[in-house]
Amino acid sequence: MEKLGERALKEIEEATSLAALEEVRLKYLGKKGEVTGLLKTIGSLPKEERPAFGAKVNALREAIEGHLKEKTAFLERKALEERVKRETVDVTLPGNVPQVGSLHPLTKALREIVQIFYGMGFTVYESREAETDEMNFVKLNLAPGHPSRDAQETLYLTETTLLRTHTSPGQIRGMLDMKGKLPVRFIVPGRVYRRDQMDASHSPVFHQVEGLVIDRHITFEHLKGCFLEFARGFFGPETKIRLRPSYFPFTEPSAEIDVSCTICKGKGCPVCGRTGWLELSGAGMVHPNVIRNGGYDPDEVTGFAFGFGLDRAAMLKWGIDDLRVLFENDLRFLRQFEGI
Amino acid sequence: MRVPWTWLKEYVDLDWTVEETCERLTHAGVKVENLVYEKLDLSGVVSALVEDVSTHPARPDLKVGTVNTGEGRYTVVSGAPGFEKGNLVLLAVPSSRLPGGITIETRSVAGVESQGMVVCSNEILAGEEPRPGEDIILLPPGTPLGIPAQELFTLDDWVIELDLTVNFSHCLSIMGVAIEASALSGKPLKLPEVYRNWDWAGPYGSRRPADDPDVEGEWKVELPDPDLCPRYVGKVVREVRTAYAPIEVERRLMLAGMRPISAIVDATNYVMLECGQPLHAFDADRLEGKTIWARRARQGETIETLDGEERRLEEGMLVIADARGPVAVAGVMGGSRTEVSAGTRNVLLESAFFAPIPTRQTYRKLRLRTEASARFEKTVDPTAQPVAIERAAELIAKYTGGVPERGRTDANLMEPLKRSIPFSMRVVKRTLGAPIPIEKCKEIFESLHFAVGPVKKEGDFETMDVTVPPRRVDIKEEIDLCEEVARIYGYDKFEAKPLTPAVPGGPPNKEYVWFEKMKDFLVSMGGREVVTTSLLSPDDLLAMGWDESDGRSKGVPLMDPLSSSESVLRTSLLPGLLKVVQRNQSVRMPGGFFWETGRVFFPSREELPLEAVQLGLCMYGTLRESTWVEGEAEATFFRLKGVVETLLRLMGIEASFLPGASMPMHPGISARVVAGHSTVGEVGELHPLVKKNLGLIGNCVLAWFSVEAILAMAKEKRFTPVSKFMPVERDIAVVVDASVPADSVVKVVKETARDLRSVTVFDVYDKPPVPEGKKSIALRLTYNPSDRTLTEEELSEDRERIVKALREAVGGEIRL
Ligand SMILES: [Zn+2]
């Protein structure tokens, strides 16, 4: 029996493949195997020898099984290692690319803007695009015959209705919806229309973002602070702003807001006309008449408003030099905004 | 407005550089658009003495002279009357250059060599021949010889180009800009004597000086329409002779953007540029009668304007008329009949106030915008008419030797002005915020020539009455005065303060949040957002194949569109999306998946059109070409439907698809999307006819949704616990008539099966052995109750139930 054991262990040792090992297993532990055969002889032994014999054979079987298991694991690992060594792919081949979409740069820019203003306590007010002459002009101190009406070439629908020339009627509608609650802090993003031919910097259809704040104790200094925070958030923390007197019938005092050039950082380049500054926004303290038209008392509250071109802001942010590409929707353009 | 630097400096002695001046002006609201150095292309023209003159041997009308420049003597031929011995002239020596690329060379004049040319203003300024009656330039005695013309006269100069906002009409004159510069620099204003005598800059406007003669002018003026012309001042200048303004005056006009014409016309233009009051000169002898009417035009009246155009006047336009008819379109342009010309002996000057809005309407109708109308339309100083006419008369007398009449005709129906505005420091504190003391405000007002009354205390605040000069038509109320303080004080001196108190900001409502989420879902499924115009051509709508009864077939029209291609408002996003496909096919992009959100417009019974927000989706061609590892992805109905289904699922909306959508979709390959008992959108293949008409190639599928409808239904999904037991899957293939929608088969299964978690269609087959007219639908059923694993018995019971139900409901037979 001992010899059988030694022989079995030696054969296990010498087996070099899983198949050879299986043969060894069958030879000794299979139904007709030698160890199995030994067990079958147990019946021919005297009764008192049987337990000892049985224990011995079982010990032998367990020893062989143990070695088989060990050797199997060894051979399996070896086979796996060899397979891994053989297997290789050309990793420079392209992978299976999932299809990625993109947001339009105007939406991307607007989302950033909206987030910055959320941080300053603003909400979003959406206002209609087809407007009355009354809302678009008269309620904003632009009575018929006002010279500023000419500057805004208007697309009229009827004698009294038009496509809004600016997002400013949203100031009136927004205030009226607030019904006297304070503070008023909202932005009005949206599409506006002018009677302009399409070229690199004009379009009959473009977009603006209007902002309005009405409260007690709002001054020109808050306008400056609020816009500075926005400009830094949108164009980068080193951005500077500059306010120049200007004129809008619905604000007084009025200002033109320049931001330091996003391209040259204020040093002067062709984009900013070598001035280091880019005109971005019109702004000012809300005219008392406009506050009144929004259902608030100008003797009790003051406020500021601003409005700027979303298209222009997006163009400056991403260095787009022609307004038309925003509306052409060429795939080669749109693709560049994946993930931005 | 163009402001020549030297001219500006004549009225205010700035010690700033021109660049610094531009910067300061811009920061006070007088926006400088551009600064340019205007240089005449002129060289070799120098002062010289005519030493000796004799008659040309062959041409008795010409003279031959010796001209000394101090550096050399030249033989010169000239016919000019001023070419006389002892006169100091300007000589263009051989090789000198005149504007217009002209070079002066030695040339033979009727057999005599002329070494250069003695020149007149027109030659120096424009490089053109002398005008009728124009003599050579004669320099004052004592002028040194050999000095270039540019050093003798200011010809080259900086020009500040202003881009003024409409409220800054008071800066449509050099003196107006000078007042701003004076206020900003603290340097005193230095105006010509006439303006000082009349106190032109003062807080009450121009006022008759004490020594003004109380004499009525020769002409009578009638103002039947004071709403259009409430004031008209006339003055005659007699015995004028044909002359040209001095070269520096002509050059100033050119630098300011006007063309020199004759001494009389130039004088009126010069005064307009100087003080902002437009003037007109009539040839008094060509006027019929001695009365001028400023009246509305009558039906059928016409006028030939100075530019030679015969113009039909509309009833109601303001004209200036004599006994015969219109002689000028008021505030816009004079007429040819009474034009000042070379033979003019007597001149009637006009200085009037024409109402802004009618002037604008008139020049727009006539398409005739002039320097004069640009000023009248923004309201001129209602007190400046007499002083301006006096100044013009003075200049004409100086240039032409004419004699102005004493006094003037002043027809004045102007309402008395009230320009005093109470100003409280409360407005400064409330609106500006910065601690600007009352002394500073006072100083600012006075620097702008406003009059400030005594300081009073009213409540907690100091107040004062401020009287604003009438030329400042932009200042009407306290808040306007506040702006004056702010802009002269300097916007850059204000602090930047954060908004207080801090209040929470954020999206206005749940719909807004879902709207943004919806965009993210579309991006995650490979969609590219596009932005297209809302202005379409009626043909764009026609191409969609909507019939008359379809609300989308006719867009809200624009009253006066730029072109027919942008003449109606979109009623759907689909035409715009199909244009995006056209565009991308034209640049050979093989395929794409686009979407857009935006407003569409429909006519309504209300005053304003109905606006609705839509989502449009469009796929065309090959979305992804096949790669070495994957097959191509084509734009198909089911690919887009899959996007739509997923989008709705992510938004928590249960929807069903009913066969057959409207145009421009293929009736057999399209579906209405129904959710909450109403149609919320459609999805389908582009109708082949529409595709053909638009010139599109390949496959194209579309979808649209009412954004308002789906956002209202969007909801967060509720969490359901995950079963601790393994799911079990069973497949069933059922053969039904080809016309039975898969959806109804799925519905039967869902309604019948117990403990079912999901059922999906994983195959549809209609080839043999499936009988003709039938199809086999293979379903995968996943069971997964939360409390146990289903037994084989339960599963087969369920299967029997389903088989029975399918047979009864849709006539389905189970295929094994
Ligand atoms: Zn730059």
Residue B670's CATH number: 3.30.930.10
Of all residues in chain B, the percent with pLDDT exceeding 90 is 87
Q: Tell me: pLDDT of B459 over 90.
A: no
Weakest-pLDDT range from A68-77, A144-153, B587-596: A144-153
pLDDT computed for residue B201 by the predictor: 95
Q: Tell me: pLDDT of A60 over 70.
A: yes
User: Same domain, yes or no, for B606 and B698?
Assistant: yes
Q: Tell me: pLDDT of B319 over 90.
A: yes
Per DSSP, the three-state class of A190 is strand
User: Same domain, yes or no, for B131 and B168?
Assistant: no
Residue B190 corresponds to which amino acid?
K
pLDDT computed for residue B315 by the predictor: 87
Query: B495-498: which pairs have CB atoms within 8 A and are 24 or more residues apart?
Result: B495/A221, B495/A224, B495/A225, B495/B433, B495/B434, B496/A221, B496/A224, B496/A225, B496/A228, B497/A219, B497/A221, B497/A222, B497/A224, B497/A225, B497/B433, B498/A222, B498/A225, B498/A226, B498/A229
pLDDT, one tens digit per residue, over B261-303 is: 999 999 999 999 999 999 999 999 999 999 999 999 999 999 9
Q: What is the DSSP secondary structure assignment for residue B168, as one 8-state letter?
A: G
Task: Determine how many CB atoms are found less than 10 A away from the CB of residue B324.
Answer: 12
Give the residue from B778, B801, B793 showing the smallest Cα distance to B732.
B778
Q: Tell me: pLDDT of B664 over 80.
A: yes
User: Same domain, yes or no, for B660 and B761?
Assistant: no
Which residue among B412, B446, B480 closes a domain?
A: B412
Six-digit token pair at B99? 């504007």
Q: How far is B625 from A335, CA to CA, in rounded Å?
A: 16
The residues spanned by each domain of chain A are 2-86, 105-337
Selected residues 613-672 of chain B with any CB under 8 Å from a CB in chain A: 623-624, 627-630, 633
Residue at B340 is within a domain: yes
* A283 Cα: distance to centroid of ligand 1 (angstroms): 22
User: Same domain, yes or no, for B63 and B183?
Assistant: no
pLDDT computed for residue A151 by the predictor: 59
pLDDT, one tens digit per residue, over B154-183 is: 999 999 999 999 899 999 999 999 999 999
Q: Tell me: pLDDT of B816 over 70.
A: no
Cβ neighbours for A46, distance < 8 A, ≥ 6 positions apart = none
Which one of B31, B180, B423, B431 makes the best mutation probe of the A interface by having the most chain A beta carbons within 10 Å?
B431
Pick the more confident residue, B810 or B207: B207
User: Same domain, yes or no, for B112 and B182?
Assistant: no
* A278 Cα: distance to centroid of ligand 1 (angstroms): 8
pLDDT computed for residue A31 by the predictor: 84
Residue B789 pLDDT level (bands cut at 50, 70, 90): confident
Give the residue from B140, B9, B136, B144 showing the smallest Cα distance to B68.
B144
Per DSSP, the three-state class of B814 is strand
Q: How far is A190 from A166, CA to CA, in rounded Å?
A: 9
pLDDT, one tens digit per residue, over B208-235 is: 999 999 899 999 999 999 999 999 999 9
What average pLDDT does the segment A84-91 reach? 90
What average pLDDT does the segment A296-325 reach? 95
User: Same domain, yes or no, for B321 and B183?
Assistant: no
Residue at B210 is within a domain: no
The rounded Cα A23 to chain-centroid distance in angstroms is 62
Selected residues 539-558 of chain B with any CB under 8 Å from a CB in chain A: 556-558
Which one of A97, A247, A325, A335 makes the best mutation probe of the B interface by having the most chain B beta carbons within 10 Å?
A247
pLDDT computed for residue B329 by the predictor: 94
Which residue among B141, B175, B191 closes a domain?
A: B191
Q: Tell me: pLDDT of B815 over 80.
A: no
On whether the A105-337 domain is CATH 3.30.930.10, my answer is yes
Q: Tell me: pLDDT of A73 over 70.
A: yes
Tell me the chain B residues in contact with residue A186 when contact means C-beta distances shorter than 8 Å. Answer: 508
User: Same domain, yes or no, for B542 and B633?
Assistant: yes
Number of domains in chain B: 6
What average pLDDT does the segment A257-270 reach? 89
Mean pLDDT of chain B: 94
Q: Tell me: pLDDT of B673 over 90.
A: yes
A204/B533 touch (CB, cutoff 8 Å), yes or no = yes
What is the nearest CA distance from B675 to chain A, expressed in angstroms? 26
Which residue of A95, A104, A242 is in closest CB contact with B529? Answer: A104
pLDDT computed for residue B629 by the predictor: 86
User: Same domain, yes or no, for B148 and B160?
Assistant: no
* A260 Cα: distance to centroid of ligand 1 (angstroms): 8
Which one of B476, B522, B608 makes the best mutation probe of the A interface by having the most chain A beta carbons within 10 Å?
B608
Q: Are B431 and A288 in contact (CB under 8 A)?
A: no
pLDDT, one tens digit per residue, over A327-338 is: 999 999 999 999
User: Same domain, yes or no, for B370 and B479?
Assistant: no
User: Same domain, yes or no, for B395 and B435?
Assistant: no
Residue A144 pLDDT level (bands cut at 50, 70, 90): confident
Selected residues 343-382 of chain B with any CB under 8 Å from a CB in chain A: 356-357, 360, 377-378
Give the residue from B188, B180, B187, B123 showing the smallest Cα distance to B155.
B123
pLDDT, one tens digit per residue, over B363-385 is: 988 888 899 999 999 999 999 99
Residue at B406 is within a domain: yes
Q: How many CA atoms lie within 13 A of B116 on its CB side?
A: 28
What average pLDDT does the segment B716-744 reach? 89
Residue of chain B nearest A300, judged by CA positions: B430
What is the nearest CA distance from A102 to chain B, expressed in angstroms? 5
Which residue among B430, B465, B493 closes a domain?
A: B493
Selected residues 153-212 of chain B with any CB under 8 Å from a CB in chain A: 165-168
Q: What's the domain range around B735?
A: 728-814
Q: Look at the block and give the residue holding tokens 């549809």.
A: B764
Which residue of B27, B499, B611 is in closest CB contact with A244? Answer: B27
Residue at B209 is within a domain: no
B499/A151 touch (CB, cutoff 8 Å), yes or no = no
Q: Tell me: pLDDT of A150 over 80.
A: no
Tell me: ipTM over 0.90.
Answer: no
Residue at B723 is within a domain: no
CATH number at residue B347: 3.50.40.10
pTM of the model: 0.87
pLDDT computed for residue A61 by the predictor: 85
What Rg, from alpha-carbon coordinates, does chain B have? Answer: 42
User: Same domain, yes or no, for B425 and B559?
Assistant: no
User: Same domain, yes or no, for B245 and B349?
Assistant: yes
Q: Are A291 and A308 in contact (CB under 8 A)?
A: no
Task: Determine how many CB atoms are found less than 10 A away from the CB of residue B397.
Answer: 17
The sign of the dihedral angle between the CA atoms of B296, B301, B306, B309 is positive
What average pLDDT does the segment B638-664 reach? 95
Tell me the chain A residues in contact with residue B535 when contact means C-beta distances shorter than 8 Å. Answer: 155, 193, 204-205
Residue at B211 is within a domain: no
Of all residues in chain B, the percent with pLDDT exceeding 70 is 100
